[in-house]
Amino acid sequence: MAESRKKVLITGAAGMIGTTIRTRLRERYDFRLLFHSTVPDDVPADDEVVMSSVANFDGMVEAAKDVDVIIHLAIRRWAGMSQADVAAATLEVDVPGVYNVYEAARINRVKTVIFASTNHVTGMYEKEGLVAASDSPVRPDGIYGAGKVFGEALGRFYADRHGLRVICLRVANYKSEDEPTTYYEPGYSRWQSPRDLAQQIWRCIETEDVQFGIFYGVSAGSEKKWDLTNARELLGYEPEDDGSLPEYREKNRNK
């Protein structure tokens, strides 16, 4: 008998990461997509669609019914915002949103939550030229990173107290492009390709040996900033792309 396909709920499904997951992993999983306001034109008719804010508790509980996995990507956009506005968005949307996701998973007996964290959780190490690992003490470099620290800590609680499988991916530079970007300097060593992101996500979904884990979401070439050892050993993640390769540096040198 063929194994049934997993049903995966994606919050923030309209964003770059959500779009990559739902397009590149369509052959592996069935999706239920949560959008806040509008549905992109590229969403197939056979994808389930839910309209809700992650900050709406009842909406999240309803959205999480009968799914196997939740991939929580949704945040309040913060680029270009003042620190005060980022703090307000974090407290009004991101913090209640991640709580609602974990609690909706508990209520609905969802097996796995994959939480999109960020390299900014340990951003101060990078600013000082130090390599950060998943077990390094957190050192956020801003309000956004501090909010993600809360999401990781809450995930640890739900894993320990309620038996939820929680995987936190500290995603670095992601621009949904097949080549490294110089949008953030130094883009070459802080980049994750769409192919590597999709691989890491499906490995997170399929692993049964990790009850709670924190992993960096980057392609090869990032080893001077983040330790990928646990992602390789526990998930079997092996990046196929490398943002530090000479041809990438040369191609992007004058852009």
Provide the pLDDT for residue 178.
64
Peptide bond into 194 cis (omega under 30): no
Provide the pLDDT for residue 25.
97
Distance CA 206, CA 228 (A): 19
* Residue 179 in tokens: 């080549």
Provide the pLDDT for residue 125.
94
Provide the pLDDT for residue 255.
44
The strand pairing partners of 70, in sequence order, are: 9, 113
* Residue 193 in tokens: 């390709």
Which residues, 6 or more positions from 204, have their beta carbon under 8 angstroms from its beta carbon? 112, 114, 167, 169, 215, 235
Provide the pLDDT for residue 220.
85
Provide the pLDDT for residue 2.
53
* Residue 164 in tokens: 């939820």
Provide the pLDDT for residue 192.
86
| pLDDT tens for the 255 residues of the chain, in order | 456 899 999 999 999 999 999 999 999 999 999 998 888 888 988 889 999 999 999 999 999 999 999 999 998 766 678 889 888 988 999 999 999 999 999 999 999 999 999 999 999 998 898 999 999 999 999 999 999 999 999 999 999 999 999 999 999 877 766 666 555 554 556 778 899 999 999 999 999 999 999 999 988 877 778 999 999 999 999 999 887 766 555 555 544
Provide the pLDDT for residue 191.
78
The strand pairing partners of 217, in sequence order, are: 171
DSSP code at position 180:
-
C-alpha angle 241-14-141 in degrees, rounded to nearest 5? 65
* β pairing state of 48-51 and 212-217: unpaired
Provide the pLDDT for residue 248.
58
* β pairing state of 7-11 and 69-72: parallel
Closest CA to 74 of 142, 146, 148: 148
Distance CA 9, CA 61 (A): 12
Provide the pLDDT for residue 94.
93
What are the chain's domains? 7-252 (3.40.50.720)
